[in-house]
Structure 1
Amino acid sequence: MEYGRLVELYAELSATEANTEQTALIARTLTARPETVELLVTLLQGRPFVAWDDRDLGVSSSLTRTAIAKATGHSEAQIEEWWRETGDLGSAAARAIENDRQQTLFGQSLTVEGVQDTLEAIAAYDGAGSQERKVDAIAGLLSDAEPETAQYLVRTVLENLRIGVGEGTIRDAIAQAFLGGSEADIAAVERAYQVTNDYRTVAAVARGSGVEGLAELEIQVGRPIAVMLAEKAESVRTGMDRVAPDGPVLAEYKYDGMRAQVHVDGADVTVFTRRLADVTAQFPDVVAAVQEHVDAEQAILEGEIVGYDPETGGTLPFQTLSKRIKRKYDLQATKTEIPVTLLLFDAMYVEESLLEAPLTQRLDRLESVLTESTQEIERARNCMSEDPAAIEALYEDALAAGQEGIMVKNPAATYQPGNRVGYMMKVKPTLETLDLVVTRATYSEGRRSNQLGRLYLGCRDASGEFKEVGRLSTGFTDEELATVTERLEPLIVETEGRDVVLDPELVLEVEFEEIQASPEYDSSYALRFPRFVGFRDDLAVSDVDTLDRVERLYDQ
């Protein structure tokens, strides 16, 4: 397939606001281009790989700017100027191509397959000279590109396509293209994606085997699945009534750590975050503990990795643990500085899929394979009861231990990947922190004038759009503010003076004193005295708190 045809589709989707029209456009393309279906379903989301594939292009905006300059003959300063003017490095690339100083007489026609091959090669470059090879590869693509093609190539390299196509649109398009598009068809695609996290596989099976083929897809050791998500309850009693009004509930500590999915395949152990990132290398102690104390040939277990202080035995906050998650070098030092415990609370697979098994059965299987509890690995602290007083006591114990609260679960519930289904509720203090996304920002004044220090925060409404709930400008150390700026500047899509509009990707945890009604923000609410707590790199943008949640807190 000629890459130019894909670029035409990108442009058409970008100009189309209605999700139903976007879905129909993609469905028609998938039907007409069966040979490239598996590539299209990822490239249309602005990434070259499936969600659980941990390959990373590793290309920064500055490297891409260098590649644009190399391909076009313009200086990096000129590319930088165009970038500032447009707020989009892809648009700067298009302008550079339009004014190309070193146009070649003969260019090669780009294909979707060829571009994909180049992206995979870029992801594989490592070691000495790898950055130069990445620049050369990107420059090679751009040298054969028309302006609009260059725009979308650069956006793809930076994995920021900006055409408004998310996983839900791809799901609906697959259902419409190959199954008919009914609610049942969409549900079949959704379920298949939840157990594979791979729209390439889902699209191929839907095209070849229909609904029946999708139903046969199952979880697979080594391929992470979307974790089951919890809703928030305002109190212990509310949570109990919601998940199991006529029987006992299982309550567990909600730890201030990193949710982890552990895959066991013989002697091989792989650790994934809830966002499906492979962090096995960062946690060799977890791998060793599982190898020694989990007796299973194949298993997928779920738990929380929590840091602890080796001197006091007390747990460490997530922000301290996050240093290990991000660290890629000198791992032995961080292992010693921040030792961890793996606290297991579920089993989705033990020699066979357990997704359809009730929680009690899944926990029995978990207990059967955990041969010993140690400082490095143990069961999460829990209580099974229908007595609210017993569950309240566990809740108070969790807070006294410095944890976030408790999880309340239905013991008879099956595992529902990716769904907030009411089978599991989290109970935390009423006025708590919120997880919000940064939508806009303003550069500070004075000595911090080069830092984005005024951040506008958004929650999700029922349609998935972001509604702002206030501005954050306090709680940062100088080091944190520098990190915030470093992480936000690549997300700038529009600049006006010192104000910038951002792609909503960075999720922050924010504490506040109260919520008040406010006409200043499109949510109609504002956080009073919000304060930065930390980054929530373990959360996807789809996990940020909802407007409904903000409204409920306001009503209280």
Structure 2
Amino acid sequence: MLLADLARTSREIAATSARSAKVTLLAQLFRTAEPAEAPVAVTYLAGRLPQRRTGVGWRTLMEHPPPAAAPRLTVADVDAALGRIAAVSGKGSQTERKRLLHTLMSAATEEEQLFLIRLIGGELRQGALDALAVEGLSAAVGADPVDVRRAVMLGGSLGTVAQALLARGPAALADFRLTVGRPVLPMLAQTAKDVDEALDRLGPCAVEEKLDGIRVQVHRDGESVRVYTRTLDEITDRLPEVVAAAHGLAARQAVLDGEVIALDQDERPRPFQEVSGRVGSRLDVLGARESLPLSPVFFDLLAVDGRDLLDLPVGQRHEELARVVPAPQRVRRLVVTDPGDGKCRDAAREFTGQVLARGHEGVVCKALDSRYSAGRRGASWLKVKPVHTLDLVVLAAEWGHGRRTGKLSNLHLGARRPDGSFAMLGKTFKGLTDALLTWQTERLRNIAVSSAAWGVTVRPELVVEVAFDGVQQSSRYPAGVTLRFARVVRYRQDKTADQADTVETVVALRGQRTPLSG
């Protein structure tokens, strides 16, 4: 496949607002793709790189050579070239990256250059591309979109499924089953403002602790144990406590969903940043374990001893979980069988209060008949926290004043639009510690696309969790709303910009005056 075909399709998708038209364009592209090209093509269209980072800055991208007269670059050529650029390191690496990028850009036409600049610079936004690509891929090979979506959930990658389908057709979907050792995308929760709303929406449900830790998926197959993050990265070597816990299960084979947290001497959770730093550290794991031991807490069981439990209701999955995992390693929960009964509601509120009193984030309410929808933010799981938070993207930052002089301080915050771009919702400089200001300034300088006396505009890739008291109408910002008393909670380095909250989500919260939940 020529890069020109991909660049043209990308432009045409961005130019149309009709979902059906976007799906048709994707189907046409898939029909012309070779199976081996599909994973890279899908990744590029979604605005991502298989290499994740190339080390190429915006200024270097702007120094590109004159374009080629005719298209000749293939998708495979580009992937190989970017792989070489990403692999450059050591003395003289910046010069070598520039040379390799110049060679690549010299072979690209004007439209291809524009596509590559936006792709490498993180500015290629197609809007819900993964969901549309499932439909386009289904149409291209004559498969049921529901079956393709499930295969993507279980395979963990749209590209992997696309390659198999283009090579062998719908019969390839049978290959994508829950397999111990191959991680699946985790099920996610929607939000409710409080427990009463969650009970009204769900009916009979389980109310579980919501722990502020790192999501983990644990696979045990005999003596072999593997641990994965919510983004499916393997971190087994960093978490010996989790490996030991997995070896202690009352099952030889299992796939579990849970969190790792750190507790202080009073059994209260330690800050998320400490847990994140421990999980992210690859050096001196034994020493890190001594200074900050982690505790795995499991809340779901997806498979056990050869049995796939995904389609069982949550109540039955928990029965299996209780049989396999000892109580200290299971999340606390309360089953509400009759949400219409006042005593049941009081019990749910009391349980939530106890969870908060122990220092945890809130609760997750799960409909008792809900199946495990891997990779989906389903309406059958609802999370409730006492203070509302949103995951927003940093669009720009202003230089600080006073003791913050020389630091990028006031953040411009954006939510995702349906087309993948971002709408600014407001600004905040609250909640930033001195250490976070220093880190933030360095990081934002590295991803700046322009600078001025007031501050910098940056590539929209950093996700920050922001707490706020409410959403109010505002003619000052493009979405017509802004956040009231916004303050930074933490940066979400485990999330990408396409996982940030949407404008639709923010607008839906407008006018709520009670403490919000999210």
What amino acid does structure 2 have at the position aligned with 1:214? L
Q: Do 2:302 and 2:317's aligned partners in 1 also have CA atoms closer than 8 Å?
A: yes
380, 394, 399: which one aligns with 1:438: 394
What amino acid does structure 1 have at the position aligned with 2:320? R
Q: Do 1:118 and 1:137's aligned partners in 2 also have CA atoms closer than 8 Å?
A: no
Structure 2 unmatched ranges of 5 or more: 338-343, 514-518
Q: Tell me if 1:423 matches 2:380.
A: yes
Residue 347 of structure 1 and its aligned partner are, at CA, apart by: 0.9
335, 339, 342: which one aligns with 2:293: 339
**Corresponding residue of 1:113:** 76
Q: Tell me if 1:358 matches 2:313.
A: yes
Q: Do 1:257 and 1:321's aligned partners in 2 also have CA atoms closer than 8 Å?
A: yes
Q: Do 1:258 and 1:538's aligned partners in 2 also have CA atoms closer than 8 Å?
A: no
Q: Do 1:59 and 1:134's aligned partners in 2 also have CA atoms closer than 8 Å?
A: no
Is 321-330 or 253-262 further displaced after alignment? Answer: 321-330
**Corresponding residue of 1:168:** 131
Task: Provide the secondary structure at the position in 1 that maps to 2:511.
Answer: helix
Q: Do 1:347 and 1:365's aligned partners in 2 also have CA atoms closer than 8 Å?
A: yes
Residue 536 of structure 1 and its aligned partner are, at CA, apart by: 2.2
Task: Provide the secondary structure at the position in 1 that maps to 2:173.
Answer: helix
Give runs of aligned pairs for residues 126-275 of structure 1, distance below 5 A.
136=96, 139-140=99-100, 142-146=102-106, 148=110, 149=112, 152-153=115-116, 160=122, 162-164=124-126, 166-179=129-142, 185-211=144-170, 213-214=172-173, 217-244=176-203, 247=204, 249-275=205-231
Q: Tell me if 1:26 matches 2:26.
A: yes
Distance 1:499 1:368 in 2: 57
What amino acid does structure 1 have at the position aligned with 2:54? V
What amino acid does structure 1 have at the position aligned with 2:66? E
Task: Provide the secondary structure at the position in 2 that maps to 1:554.
Answer: coil
Pair 493,392 (structure 1): closer, same or farther in 2 beyond 3 Å: same
Residue 109 of structure 1 and its aligned partner are, at CA, apart by: 6.3
Distance 1:274 1:517 in 2: 35
Structure 1 unmatched ranges of 5 or more: 50-55, 66-79, 84-88
Q: Tell me if 1:383 matches 2:334.
A: yes
**Corresponding residue of 2:371:** 414
**Corresponding residue of 1:71:** none
Pair 152,527 (structure 1): closer, same or farther in 2 beyond 3 Å: closer
Distance 1:132 1:193 in 2: 41
Is 112-121 or 340-349 further displaced after alignment? Answer: 112-121
Distance 1:208 1:326 in 2: 37
Pair 462,111 (structure 1): closer, same or farther in 2 beyond 3 Å: closer
Task: Provide the secondary structure at the position in 2 that maps to 1:555.
Answer: coil
CA deviations over 1:295-341 (Å, ceiling 9, x no partner): 434322001111112x3332112122121233232333332222211
Is 223-232 or 499-508 further displaced after alignment? Answer: 499-508
Q: Tell me if 1:326 matches 2:280.
A: yes
Q: Do 2:465 and 2:488's aligned partners in 1 also have CA atoms closer than 8 Å?
A: yes
Residue 164 of structure 1 and its aligned partner are, at CA, apart by: 2.4
What amino acid does structure 2 have at the position aligned with 1:30? F
Pair 440,122 (structure 1): closer, same or farther in 2 beyond 3 Å: closer
Q: Do 1:23 and 1:169's aligned partners in 2 also have CA atoms closer than 8 Å?
A: yes
Q: Tell me if 1:284 matches 2:256.
A: no
Q: Do 2:302 and 2:308's aligned partners in 1 also have CA atoms closer than 8 Å?
A: yes
Q: Do 1:142 and 1:150's aligned partners in 2 also have CA atoms closer than 8 Å?
A: no
Distance 2:423 2:206 in 1: 35
Task: Provide the secondary structure at the position in 1 that maps to 2:237.
Answer: coil
Q: Tell me if 1:59 matches 2:54.
A: yes
Pair 16,98 (structure 1): closer, same or farther in 2 beyond 3 Å: farther
CA deviations over 1:454-494 (Å, ceiling 9, x no partner): 21223346776644332111221222122223333444445
Q: Do 2:393 and 2:500's aligned partners in 1 also have CA atoms closer than 8 Å?
A: no
Q: Do 1:152 and 1:161's aligned partners in 2 also have CA atoms closer than 8 Å?
A: no
Pair 323,131 (structure 1): closer, same or farther in 2 beyond 3 Å: farther
Distance 1:176 1:489 in 2: 43
**Corresponding residue of 1:74:** none
Is 435-444 or 497-506 further displaced after alignment? Answer: 497-506
**Corresponding residue of 1:518:** 474
**Corresponding residue of 2:46:** 45
**Corresponding residue of 1:486:** 442
Percent of pairs with identical residues? 31
Distance 1:530 1:263 in 2: 39
Q: RMSD in angstroms over aligned alpha carbons?
A: 3.4
Q: Do 1:518 and 1:525's aligned partners in 2 also have CA atoms closer than 8 Å?
A: yes
CA deviations over 1:246-295 (Å, ceiling 9, x no partner): x4x2111111212221122333322222232333333222222222x124
Residue 398 of structure 1 and its aligned partner are, at CA, apart by: 0.3
Distance 1:144 1:507 in 2: 30
Distance 1:134 1:220 in 2: 42
Residue 497 of structure 1 and its aligned partner are, at CA, apart by: 5.1
CA deviations over 1:353-403 (Å, ceiling 9, x no partner): 211111122122222332x455xxx01111223312222221010010011
Is 298-307 or 479-488 further displaced after alignment? Answer: 479-488
CA deviations over 1:427-455 (Å, ceiling 9, x no partner): 222x4333322233333346645433221
Is 379-388 or 199-208 further displaced after alignment? Answer: 199-208
Distance 1:135 1:344 in 2: 48
CA deviations over 1:67-99 (Å, ceiling 9, x no partner): xxxxxxxxxxxxx8xx2xxxxx43x142xx239
Q: Tell me if 1:300 matches 2:227.
A: no
Distance 1:467 1:58 in 2: 25
Is 387-396 or 260-269 further displaced after alignment? Answer: 260-269
Distance 1:524 1:319 in 2: 33
Pair 411,514 (structure 1): closer, same or farther in 2 beyond 3 Å: closer
Distance 2:52 2:417 in 1: 32
Distance 2:22 2:92 in 1: 37
CA deviations over 1:393-416 (Å, ceiling 9, x no partner): 210100100111111112222111
TM-score by length of 2: 0.84
348, 369, 373: which one aligns with 2:302: 348
What amino acid does structure 1 have at the position aligned with 2:235? V
What amino acid does structure 1 have at the position aligned with 2:308? S
